[in-house]
Chains A and B, each alone.
Chain A
Amino acid sequence: MKQMALFFSKTALASCMPLLLMAGWACNTSEKKAAKIAQASRDSAEACTPIKDPNNPKPMALMMRQMATNADSIRAGILMGIIPDSLKYPFLRFYLVEPTDPGVLEPQFFENARLYQQAYRSLMNTDKAEMINAYNATIAACINCHQRYCSGPLKRINKLPITGLP
Chain B
Amino acid sequence: MKNSLLYFCLLFLISCGQTPQQPATEAISANATYYGEKITADSVIQIDELAQLMGDQTEIAIKLKGPVEKICQKKGCWMDLRKEDGSTMRVTFKDYGFFMPKDGAGKTAIVRGIAKIEETSVADLQEYARDAGKSEAEVNAITTPEKELVFEADGVILQ
A interface residues with partner B (beta carbon < 8 Å): 47-55, 57, 61, 100-101, 147, 150-153, 155-156, 159
Contact B75 A50 (CB under 8 A): no
Question: B23: CB under 8 A from chain A?
Answer: no
| 18 A–B pairs (Cβ distance < 8 Å), ordered by A | A47-B30, A49-B34, A50-B35, A50-B37, A50-B38, A50-B98, A50-B155, A51-B34, A51-B35, A51-B98, A53-B76, A53-B98, A54-B33, A54-B35, A54-B101, A55-B99, A152-B96, A153-B96
Instruction: List residues of chain A with CB within 8 A of the CB of B123.
Output: 147, 151
Q: SS class of chain A's interface: helix, strand, loop or mixed? A: loop
Interface bits B52-85 vs A (CB < 8 Å: 1, else 0) = 0000000000000000000000111110000000
For residue B35, which residues in chain A have a CB less than 8 angstroms away from its CB?
A: 50-52, 54
Size of interface on B: residues with Cβ below 8 Å to A? 26
B155 to A54, Cβ gap below 8 A? no
Q: How far does the alpha carbon of A104 sit from the alpha carbon of B38 in the complex, in Å? A: 34
Determine which of B94, B100, B127 lies in contact with A152 in the assembled complex, contact meaning CB atoms within 8 Å: B127
Instruction: Determine how close the nearest CB of chain A comes to the CB of B80; give it in whole angstroms.
Output: 15
A49 to B34, CA, bound (A): 7
B74 lies within 8 A of A100 (CB): yes
CB-CB < 8 A to A147: which residues of B? 123
Question: B102 — which chain A residues lie within 8 A by C-beta?
Answer: 55
